[in-house]
Each structure stands twice: as C-alpha cells, then as structure tokens.
Structure 1
Amino acid sequence: MNKRYIKLLLLFVVVSTFTACSKEDDVDISNLNLKGDTWVSGPTDNWLYENFVVPYNIEVKYRFDRYELALNKVLVPPREDKVIPVMETIKQTWVAPYEQEAGDAFIKTLSPKQFVLVGSAEYNDNGTITLGTAEGGRKIVLYVVNNFDKQDESQVKQMLHTIHHEFGHILHQTVMYPQDYKTITTGYTASWNDFSLEDARSRGYITQYARSNPDDDFVEMVSIMLIEGKTGFDAIVNSTPASAQALLRQKEQIIVGYFEEAWNIDFYSLQARTQTAINAL
C-alpha cells in the first residue's frame, strides 16, 4: 500500500466519522446543566456577607467545591451548623485583635480574600494530617471544621494555630523577616514528624513542624506565642534546657522586632489582645 493511498484512507475515515456524528448520532444535551451549581442564599450566607464580605471583602466558601481542593484526597464537606461558630470565632479571636492593634486597613489590605472550609482533615502519605493551607496570600483552606466546638479551648487554639500560621506566611511573603533568624537553629529536616515534641523543643524549635524549614519555624513561633499568650509561652520556654531557652529567646526577639519594624505592631500588645479574646469565649 503506497503512502498516497494511506493518506486517502485516513482522510476517508476522518470524513466518515465527522459525517456520522453530525448527521446520524446527534447528542441530546438538553438535560446538561451548563450554568454550574446554583442555590438560594440563606441565613448563613447573609451572616457571612454582613460579617466578612462587607467589612473586609473576604469570601467564605462552605458549599463543597472540589476544584478548590486537592483532587487526590478524600475530603468531607463542612456541616452548615458549624460555619457561623467557626467564622465568628475567627472574627473575635483573630480579626479583632489585629484590627484593634494595627487598624482596619491592615486586615483589609493583608487578609486573604477567601476562606474555604472543609469538614474533615486532609490525610498525608507520611502519616501526618493537614489542618490548613495558604495559597499566595489569596486563600486559606481550613480543615476539620466538623469537629469544632467553640466551648472547647483546645479546639479553639488548634484552629487559631492554623490561622496564625497561615497568616504568618502571608506577612513574611509580603515583607521578609530578618535573615539572621535562619541561622539561629540549623537542624531543619524533612522528616520532622519522626521526632517528638520534647526533642524538637530541646533543640530550640517551638513545635515539631518548626523543624521542617526556617519559614515554618518562623510562623510556628508567631502562632504559638499568640495562642498561648506570654504566660503560656514563657512556661514552654522555661521547660526546655538552658541551651534551647537561649535559642527560643533569640527567635522571640527577632519576631517582636519584625512586627514593630515591618508592620508597626507591638507584638506583646497583640499577644495580650489575642489572649483576652480567647478567654472571652
């Protein structure tokens, strides 16, 4: 079979296929929904609009949108009755302290423009779970929403830990913290989860995850200092060996200086406001 015949045969097949589809097997698309999901706004939507969209231009997505999340993970949608308690707590214990300390322009300018709520945790192959993620300062995804209990201080602190961690990334991606921070401790490791919390703190890291890299070390320090308050943070530091105490205090001083110089924020005042807000719950 010569090349010219092969080409003609291929052309015939293509033309025949096109003809068959267009003339004989018309596809019925009358039942396809090409407009996407639609819903009627309810009390939850109205509350989110008044408390986050209007004052801060922050969208809160709680209806399940698979394309906002990792496609290779099994995840559960959030329960609607958990949405307002979660976001009310965020407003009272994260937004308000920053707003009181730094002014409303600070939150309006630097806050992520979207929160995405997920009912379950995201489970990772290495045995860890993801409680939150931040994407380029635009979006924060919060997991484990269905377990949230506003009256449980440990759960409030866990959620705030995630929020402060992710917001810390937004801050340092906007204005970088001093490079000296990266040289205080140098034992960073990708296998941070193989070591205990006690081991991490004995080496000058406030949490196990802080050992993963300098950026996460920085935001873990910020988060723990805020959710535990000065008394709680001092208790953690004082429970470690003297060598680790010195390292943690060096990190603390760089963070305090960073917030003052980069954002004109008195970190200890912010710390006190955050504790007051948590206790008020």
Structure 2
Amino acid sequence: MSKRIIFYAIACCLLATSCKKEDAIPYEPYEAPAKPDNPTDLAIYDIFTEYQSKIIYRWDRRYITADAFASPPNESIVLPYVENVLRKLFIAPYDRQKSEFMRQNMPIEMILFGTKMNYVEGDERNFSASGTAYGLSRVIVTSVNGYDLTDATWLKNQYATLHHEFAHVLDKKFGRPAGFDKISEGKYAGGTSYAAFTQAEARSRGFWRNYGMSNESEDFATWVDGIVTTPKESVLLIADENTFLQQKYKMVYNFYLEKGIDLHVLQAYLQNVLDNL
C-alpha cells in the first residue's frame, strides 16, 4: 500500500471522527437560590439581591494571610451589624446621593472579622489592621465583635474603615486623580516607617495623617476617611495649611463629586446618624 493511500485512509478516519454528531446539551432552566430561613442570612441575601455583594461572616482561614491572626465575629452580632452599620453607615450615605452608585461599585465580597488582623511575622510584625481591600473584589472589615451603638468612638472607627477600604476599591476601578501621586513624590516613608513621623510632619508633606505616607494608595484612602469623619470647616482649614494639602484635598473631593458623591454631604449625614443612634 502506497504512502498516499495510507495518508488518505487516515484523513478519512479523522474526518469521520471530527464530523460525528454530538449529543445535544440538555437545557436546565435557571433556578434562583432559595431564600434563607434565618434572619441573619436573609438580611445578607437582601443585600446581595440589591447590590450583588456577598457579606461573608462564617469563618474561613483562607481569608487571612499566614502571617496574621484574627477571630471570627460572634454570630449574634452579625445581624445588627449588617442592619445598623453596613446599611446605615456605609450603603445609605451613597445611595441617598446617587441611587445606582453602590449597586455599580460595591465590592463583590465583604468579609467580617470579629477582631482586628494582628500581624506576627514579616515586615508588618506588631501591626494591627482595621481592614483590607483586595482589588475590586474583596474588602475585609474587622472589630465587628466590638459592636456597641452607644460607643461613638467604635462606630466612627467602623465607618472610617468602611469608607477607607471602599476608597481603595474605587481607586482600583477608576484610578487615582491624574497628578495625585506627584504631589508628595519623594516624601513617602514606605512600609511601616510612617510611624516615625508626627502628625505635624505628615501634614507638612501633604498627608492627612502619617499612615498615608505608606504609599500612594494609602495616601488617597486616608484623605477619604479623613474627610468623611471631619466637619467641612475643619477640613478646609487643614487643607489651607500648605499647597500640598490644598492640591490633594481638591483632587480627592472632585474625584467623588464627578461621580455624584459630595464627601462633605456624606460626612454630615454620617454625623447626624451618629448623633441620633
């Protein structure tokens, strides 16, 4: 048998195999997940339905790095935390200014930890994190077990953390304002070295507080949490201290304003909620 005949025979076999009719894929209609049968998971289900964001409170060690420790939230606290902190102090302030803003921008997952994340190894040893943001997809919020509506300090720290971490999400999605990173170029401390600088030294370099000296991303986010926890009059006085502060304030404020959010209106709303809880 010639090589030509052998080649022809193989080609025919391959053609027959490739043209064999496959079985049709059976149609399986979409089935919406059943509503949870307990109040906590139902409240979380409602947020997912409205904003496509999953609130996760059941402990999973993979949500924290190997060099850190944290504890899960007490399950009895999760429901009031979702209703009175996430709903009232995080979601509502944006919703009332622009109804679609949070549906379009909320992180895909929000992980609740009962305690702070305490780092015990590596470059961040002895550092305690109030929260962490991973790109557009995940935000970790800590200290949920401290839930106490009569504790104004805890409440303010909670919503400062929430808006700080959310600023990281928006930073990743839209990018920081053009030129922001240049304002304090060469004045960042890097890593945990920021702790060696006083508030006055940080402000002289254009930072809201010394933690912002870690890197450009933290610089941006600390400006956001600073504005949403400080009355407008005080923010303007701080911004007027030097050109660096004035430039950054305008960039951060306008970044949000262009998206339909006035950070000063947001701060006033948060303060009003805090005063009346």
Normalising by structure 2, report the TM-score: 0.76
Aligned counterpart, 2:55:
60
Alignment partner of 1:199 is 2:204: no
State the alpha-carbon separation in 2 of the partners of residues 127 and 229 from structure 1. 32
SS at match of 1:134: strand
How big is the shift at 1:234?
4.2
Aligned counterpart, 1:189:
189
How big is the shift at 1:155?
1.0
How big is the shift at 1:268?
3.1
Q: 1:89·1:150 contact (CA, 8 Å) conserved in 2?
A: no
Q: Equivalent of 2:210, from 198, 208, 230? A: 208
**Judging changes above 3 Å, is the alpha-carbon distance between structure 1 residues 126 and 192 closer, same or farther for their aligned structure 2 residues?**
farther
1:194-237: CA deviation from partner (whole Å, max 9, x where unpaired)? 223343234321111111112211111011101223144346x1
Structure-to-structure mapping, 1:142-181, within 5 angstroms:
142-181=141-180
Indicate the percent of aligned positions where both proteins have the same amino acid.
28
Q: Equivalent of 1:223, from 219, 222, 225? A: 225
1:28-63: CA deviation from partner (whole Å, max 9, x where unpaired)? xxxxxxxxxxxx85322223223x122222221111
Structure-to-structure mapping, 1:70-81, within 5 angstroms:
70-81=65-76
Aligned counterpart, 2:247:
250
SS at match of 1:46: helix
Aligned counterpart, 1:101:
97
**Judging changes above 3 Å, is the alpha-carbon distance between structure 1 residues 168 and 47 closer, same or farther for their aligned structure 2 residues?**
same
State the alpha-carbon separation in 1 of the partners of residues 274 and 201 from structure 2. 29
Q: 2:227·2:263 contact (CA, 8 Å) conserved in 1?
A: no
Normalising by structure 1, report the TM-score: 0.75
Aligned counterpart, 1:83:
78
Q: Equivalent of 2:276, from 272, 275, 280? A: 280
Aligned pair count reads 234
SS at match of 1:116: strand
- Higher share of residues assigned helix: 1
SS at match of 1:179: coil
1:133-184: CA deviation from partner (whole Å, max 9, x where unpaired)? 1112111111121123222121111111211111111112111232322222
State the alpha-carbon separation in 2 of the partners of residues 267 and 155 from structure 1. 21
Q: Which runs of no fewer than 5 residues in structure 1 stay unpaired? A: 1-39
State the alpha-carbon separation in 1 of the partners of residues 87 and 253 from structure 2. 23
How big is the shift at 1:253?
0.9
State the alpha-carbon separation in 2 of the partners of residues 223 and 182 from structure 1. 18
